[in-house]
Amino acid sequence: MRIIDAMRARWRAMNPFYCLGNPRPDVLRGMRKWKWLNARRKEGCTIDPSTEVRIEGQEGDTRLHMGINTAIDKGCILWLGQDEAAGRISIGKNVYIGPYCFIGSCHQLAIGDHTLIGAHSYLITANHRITDPELPYGSQGYTGGDVTLGRNVWLGAKVVVLPGVTIGDNAIVGAGAVVTRDIPANETWAGVPARKIK
């Protein structure tokens, strides 16, 4: 018996709910996930083990970049989709992503240095296509645009950032806001849809 087979058998015995034949092969699990987490920790990142990384298509190391001292809290999901353009996520240094955030990209999603993202926030670069009403929306692929957060941006809890939005440096977005258009640097926005308040 090979060593890897013995390790897998031991792992199955310890955790009866674990499935090496994962029904979602795009989700990092088991040994792949721990290898990925350890590599990020060696780069100076702090990532909670409950973080889910979903990667469609090629391996994520070339499409998911994190700067030093990035911290990702528990329950976050990082999703890299594959459509006409492969998604990419670039996270700067000293970034904090709060608990239970969803960060998904079929395009380019960039988060600048020293940015704070509050709990339960949702950043996405894509929406489902709705061009053919005869087909299910889930099978029509994605459409959208790049999302960019500048340096030192602060998103409150439960902020939604929609595709094609750019948020400038030093901007603040209030809790619960839905950002549908660009926010200039050094401004504070809040509301649904988000509007300038200061």
Average per-residue pLDDT in the chain? 82
Spatial CA neighbour of 55 closest among 92, 31, 17, 88: 88
State the angle between helix axes of 3-14 and 30-42 in degrees (0 to 180), rounded to the nearest 10: 100
Spatial CA neighbour of 95 closest among 159, 47, 147: 47
Q: What is the pLDDT of residue 24?
A: 56
Q: What is the pLDDT of residue 3?
A: 67
Element (H, E) at 188: strand 188-190
Mean pLDDT within 7-33: 55
pTM of the model: 0.78
Q: How confident is the model at residue 30 (pLDDT cuts 50, 70, 90)?
A: low
Mean pLDDT within 28-51: 79
Tell me: the pLDDT tens digits for 88-140? 889 999 999 999 999 988 888 999 999 999 999 999 988 877 888 888 877 77
Q: How confident is the model at residue 178 (pLDDT cuts 50, 70, 90)?
A: very high
Catalytic site residue 128?
A: yes
164 φψ region: left (φ > 0), alpha (ψ -120 to 50), beta (else): left
Annotated catalytic residue, options 65, 107, 120, 128: 128
Q: Does domain 21-196 match CATH 2.160.10.10?
A: yes
